[in-house]
Chains A and B, each alone.
Chain A
Amino acid sequence: MIELLTSILAITLRAGTSLIYATVGEIYTERSGILNLGLEGMMLMGAVTAFAVAYHTGSLVLALVVALLVGAAMATIHAFLTVTMRANQVVSGLSLTLFGSGLASFLGQRLGPGGQQLMGLIGPKFTQLEIPVLSRIPVLGALFDQDILTYLVYALVPLAWFYLYKTRPGLNLRAVGENPQTADAMGINVTRVRYLYTICGGMLVSLGGAHLSLAYTPGWAENITGGRGWIVIALVIFAMWNPARAVLGAVLFGGINAVQFRLQAAGTHISAAFLNMLPYLATIVVLIVMTWWEALSKRIGAPAALGKGYMREEK
């Protein structure tokens, strides 16, 4: 039994890491009022570029750096279109997904040795680093037997939470997403804030993709993300735009995946389909409850200005 729980926890954390990176990233983007639906494309691009770089240079660090840059570049496109050119955020994000997925596929077939494909190749990956003593704790020991990126997540989440709620720039960010007119009137540069956090958010999303190809399912395969980019959108809502809660959702998703395998192996009757659908249905329910319960939605809800462009009134 303890074995079972430990292994479930371990798999959950591994599965959840990439989701947490991406969710925290998108939380920051959406907190500035920008909706980025291009996550699937960005995660794929992060995965493919990270693996390609790792394969050719042998350096995992370089691979991560490139993934960050790629995420930043793609997010910049989105930011430019939505903030400066005031384009429709939904359509811009979707085209980013389309473009990113296509490009990732394209690169996956060209970035291998000699211009061949990357699929099926074995490259460097992040291995698990066991922390002595702590990793022997029953069940919770699984927390201490993970790869570096997961350990970084342990630090990322509290830092992200602290930054958002306890610092001055975090305060400004929240103001921009809730009420850009007020933020503007109080002297905050709304444009700069939106660019900054869309790009930073994009970098984290891409990093989430890199975790997939460098640690979770090492290597490159078409559709390695399996729709995670869309799940992250749901997770952001689930987390109610709070980085600390991001863990909850990621764990839920990762957990469902893990549990599902075990349950099927154990021959229980809960339909796999239902379990898979659960997160999406849950998100809809959360949305309904939140919208309906106005008080709740005012306190912990979507940043009020999410999805709406902002241009200062000309006088």
Chain B
Amino acid sequence: MRIVFEKRQTISNTAVVLVPVVSFIISLFLGGIILLASGVNPFVTYAAMARGAFGSWQVFTETLVKAIPLMLTGLGVSIAFRMQFWNIGAEGQLTLGGVAAAWVALFWSGFLPDWALLPVVLLVGMAAGALLAGVPAALKAYLKVDETLTTLMLNYVAILFSQSLYYGAWRDPQGYGFPGTALFPTAAWLPRIAGRAHLGLVFALIAAALLWFILKYTRWGFELRIIGENKTASRYLGINIGRNIVLALLLSGALSGLAGACEVTGIARRLQQGLSIGYGYTAIIVAWMAQLNPWAVIFVALLMAALLVGGDQVQMMMGLPAAMSLVLQGLLLFPMLAGALFTEYRLRIVRSTPQLQEARQ
């Protein structure tokens, strides 16, 4: 008697919806075990987390604060993943976007009228992110260099570069010893719209709509989808694969760069440590959980942010380690990864009879 994975004849739509839901429940369950082992009541904890993320307007805005960069980078990453291009460099693209934004904010304010400063800041941030993504994309498209590691390595280059700047050349002389740049001129401050949550939220929603529209309704989106699904066919159909990969990655990097630019001009209003708490990596999980669907990315980003913020609250209230939410985040994916198999395959128990055995060979 054997358990065999059998390819499904039709894609099970119920599985596509059911798997994320069931996975979520399973991970809550697993997390609950860890909570129990720490001597805490899981139900109380989860309730407190939910309240901590959504319970009041104030905490909700804090959830939004964490959600916005996740939304933008998640959208960026999802575009890349659609092309089967594993862009692990969102963290670096975000960081470089922040650096470029800081550069404009700190040094170009003399050359630009006030009304133009912020838009230029954001545009340059996007350009920086795009550039950092474009290089690995070109390397892949034209030299066939594997993108997983080039994007990953560039993360470090960007982060170290950023550090060297706010620790060194751009350091605020009046900073009381804290590493970081001077405060940006107010003309370069991104307006906040709800608590500390800034205009980036609007950008994220617009980006999601744009992405959705591009993928579903435009010729370019059609070509991107085809390339991602079947490269050989896309070549046969006359689609220019190399150029499209680079363009898509420029867009991907630009979104992450925008996230960085918004964070730096909307939250701290200076370039300093803590620009990103691993948003670029979490974004990968967000994109994947959302199955690369732009609207789902928005929703999942919010969920992840809730985990983070709710976890913070719970930590303060119940003395749980702050890392609890990170653990839960990590746990979320395992059941999902395992479950993804079931959308394509079905489990069957096979008894070894002679005919079946031969049929299986």
Q: Is chain B in direct contact with chain A in the complex (CB below 8 A)?
A: yes
Which A residues have a C-beta under 8 Å from some C-beta of B?
35, 37, 41, 77, 80-81, 85-88, 90-92, 94-106, 108-110, 115, 227, 230, 233-234, 237, 271-273, 276-277, 280-281, 283-284, 287-288, 291-292, 302, 307, 311, 314-315
A88 touching B152 by the CB < 8 A rule? no
Select the residue from B155, B281, B285 with max chain A CB neighbours within 10 A.
B281
Tell me, in angstroms, the Cα distance from A284 to B341 when the chains sit together.
33
User: Is B33's beta carbon under 8 Å from chain A?
Assistant: no
Q: Within residues 326 to 341 of chain B, which ones have a CB less than 8 A from any CB in chain A? A: 326-334, 337-338, 340-341
Chain A residues near B233 (CB-CB < 8 A): none
Binary interface encoding of chain B residues 135-161 relative to chain A, with 1 for a CB under 8 A from any of its CBs, else 0 = 000010001111011101111110011
A103 touching B334 by the CB < 8 A rule? no
Chain B residues near A237 (CB-CB < 8 A): 149
B161 touching A273 by the CB < 8 A rule? yes
Tell me, in angstroms, the Cα distance from A36 to B166 when the chains sit together.
33
Given A91-B337, A98-B281, A110-B38, answer yes or no on A103-B330 (Cβ-Cβ < 8 Å): yes
B148 touching A307 by the CB < 8 A rule? yes
User: Is B279's beta carbon under 8 Å from chain A?
Assistant: no
Which residue of B157, B288, B322 contacts A91 across the interface (Cβ within 8 Å)? B288
B7 to chain A, nearest CB (A): 8
Given A100-B330, A102-B330, A103-B323, answer yes or no on A277-B161 (Cβ-Cβ < 8 Å): yes
B330 touching A98 by the CB < 8 A rule? yes
Tell me, in angstroms, the Cα distance from A100 to B332 when the chains sit together.
13
Chain B residues near A94 (CB-CB < 8 A): 88, 281, 284-285
A275 to chain B, nearest CB (A): 10
B164 touching A234 by the CB < 8 A rule? no
Tell me, in angstroms, the Cα distance from A271 to B88 when the chains sit together.
27
A106 touching B327 by the CB < 8 A rule? yes
B324 touching A284 by the CB < 8 A rule? no
B361 touching A87 by the CB < 8 A rule? no
Chain A residues near B321 (CB-CB < 8 A): 105-106, 108-110
Which residue of A77, A101, A106 contacts B324 across the interface (Cβ within 8 Å)? A106
User: Is B175's beta carbon under 8 Å from chain A?
Assistant: no
B334 touching A280 by the CB < 8 A rule? no
A-B contact count (CB 8 A): 149
User: Is B55's beta carbon under 8 Å from chain A?
Assistant: no
Q: Within residues 60 to 109 of chain B, which ones have a CB less than 8 A from any CB in chain A? A: 86, 88
B228 to chain A, nearest CB (A): 14
Tell me, in angstroms, the Cα distance from A96 to B164 when the chains sit together.
30
Chain A residues near B86 (CB-CB < 8 A): 90
Q: Within residues 1 to 36 of chain B, which ones have a CB less than 8 A from any CB in chain A? A: 5, 7, 34
B208 to chain A, nearest CB (A): 21
Q: When A and B form their complex, which 9 residue pairs have the shortest distance between CB atoms, in order from nearest? A: A99-B330, A102-B326, A273-B164, A105-B323, A95-B333, A109-B321, A87-B337, A102-B327, A98-B330
Chain A residues near B325 (CB-CB < 8 A): 102
A-B contacts, 26 of them at CB < 8 A, read: A35-B148, A85-B338, A92-B333, A92-B337, A94-B284, A95-B332, A98-B282, A99-B329, A99-B333, A102-B325, A102-B326, A102-B330, A105-B321, A108-B321, A109-B322, A237-B149, A273-B161, A273-B163, A273-B168, A276-B160, A277-B156, A280-B154, A284-B153, A287-B145, A287-B150, A292-B145
Chain A residues near B328 (CB-CB < 8 A): 102
Chain B residues near A37 (CB-CB < 8 A): 88
Tell me, in angstroms, the Cα distance from A181 to B55 when the chains sit together.
55
Main secondary structure on B side of the interface with A: helix
Tell me, in angstroms, the Cα distance from A103 to B157 when the chains sit together.
27
User: Is B219's beta carbon under 8 Å from chain A?
Assistant: no
Tell me, in angstroms, the Cα distance from A110 to B319 when the chains sit together.
10
B337 touching A97 by the CB < 8 A rule? no
Tell me, in angstroms, the Cα distance from A85 to B1 when the chains sit together.
20
Given A97-B281, A99-B327, answer yes or no on A291-B38 (Cβ-Cβ < 8 Å): no
Chain B residues near A98 (CB-CB < 8 A): 278, 281-282, 285, 326, 329-330, 333
B157 touching A277 by the CB < 8 A rule? yes
Tell me, in angstroms, the Cα distance from A71 to B7 when the chains sit together.
33
User: Is B360's beta carbon under 8 Å from chain A?
Assistant: yes
A81 touching B152 by the CB < 8 A rule? no
Tell me, in angstroms, the Cα distance from A233 to B149 when the chains sit together.
8
Which residue of A87, A100, A104, A315 contacts B338 across the interface (Cβ within 8 Å)? A87
B153 touching A77 by the CB < 8 A rule? no
B337 touching A106 by the CB < 8 A rule? no
Tell me, in angstroms, the Cα distance from A233 to B156 when the chains sit together.
12
Q: B321: nearest residue on chain A (CB-CB)?
A: A109
B340 to chain A, nearest CB (A): 6
Which residue of A87, A233, A271, A315 contacts B341 across the interface (Cβ within 8 Å)? A87
A91 touching B330 by the CB < 8 A rule? no
Tell me, in angstroms, the Cα distance from A92 to B7 when the chains sit together.
22
Select the residue from B149, B284, B327 with max chain A CB neighbours within 10 A.
B149
B148 touching A90 by the CB < 8 A rule? yes
Chain A residues near B149 (CB-CB < 8 A): 233-234, 237, 283-284, 287
Select the residue from A41, A102, A109, A110 with max chain B CB neighbours within 10 A.
A102
Select the residue from B164, B337, B340 with max chain A CB neighbours within 10 A.
B337
Tell me, in angstroms, the Cα distance from A41 to B322 when the chains sit together.
16
Q: A315: nearest residue on chain B (CB-CB)?
A: B361
Q: A276: nearest residue on chain B (CB-CB)?
A: B160
Given A103-B327, A273-B168, answer yes or no on A281-B157 (Cβ-Cβ < 8 Å): yes
A272 to chain B, nearest CB (A): 7
B323 touching A227 by the CB < 8 A rule? no
Q: B288: nearest residue on chain A (CB-CB)?
A: A91
Chain A residues near B161 (CB-CB < 8 A): 273, 277
B337 touching A273 by the CB < 8 A rule? no
Chain A residues near B284 (CB-CB < 8 A): 90-91, 94
Chain A residues near B334 (CB-CB < 8 A): 77, 81, 95, 99
Tell me, in angstroms, the Cα distance from A126 to B288 when the chains sit together.
42
B337 touching A81 by the CB < 8 A rule? yes
Given A106-B327, A281-B153, answer yes or no on A288-B139 (Cβ-Cβ < 8 Å): yes
B23 to chain A, nearest CB (A): 12
Given contacts A85-B337, A102-B326, A115-B39, 9 further A-B contacts (CB under 8 A): A80-B338, A91-B285, A95-B330, A100-B330, A102-B330, A103-B326, A105-B322, A280-B160, A314-B7
